[in-house]
Amino acid sequence: MAGVLFAGCGGGSDSKNTSKDSSGQKESSELTDFQMEHGIGPVTEHVELDDTLNEKLITKGEKIFELKCSACHKLNSRYVGPPLGGITNTRTPAYLMNMMLNPSEMIQKHPIPKALLGEYATVMTDQNLSREDARAIVEYLASEDRKE
């Protein structure tokens, strides 16, 4: 089911720009197509979830979520931040990782978190995750979404 949403974003423009060095000059109106879909931050390539999710990653991701996210997020109801249940159906893995790894720039420049800031009036704080931590949380969130 979730795979359908990501169809078509792998191929096509095979841009070799990592666009890291130019990010200092970018304003919200100048996001690339990649950044609109996958967010702004250290994850600059498409991240694919396997059809069969990795149990070890799910367990790891759930632990980190409890520790570092549950103070502000629940899956199925609004809390300090928006509910995250179903989020892997509407956002790409790379977007989610960039939001976790680079929240302040995402809130400043990406239209989705920008709008959410207006609604929730709280700034999501940087949880100092490693890229592996963020990847594990995506696996956990996807496993919850696939139960439904």
Rule CB under 6 A: which residues touch ligand HEC? 68-69, 71-73, 80-82, 84, 87, 91, 96, 99-100, 107, 112-113, 116-117, 120, 122-125, 127, 129, 137
Least distance to ligand HEC, CB of residue 139, Å: 12
Least distance to ligand HEC, CB of residue 81, Å: 3
Up-side HSE of residue 8: CA atoms within 13 Å toward CB?
Answer: 4
The backbone torsions φ and ψ at residue 104, rounded to the nearest 5 degrees and listed phi first, read -65, -40
In the complex with ligand HEC, the residue whose CB is nearer, 30 or 119, is 119
* Cβ neighbours around 32 below 10 Å, total: 15
Least distance to ligand HEC, CB of residue 137, Å: 5
Q: Using the structure block, give the residue that is written with the tokens 């928006």.
A: 82
Q: Which of 42, 29, 64, 33 is nearest to 139 (CA)?
A: 64
In the complex with ligand HEC, the residue whose CB is nearer, 43 or 124, is 124
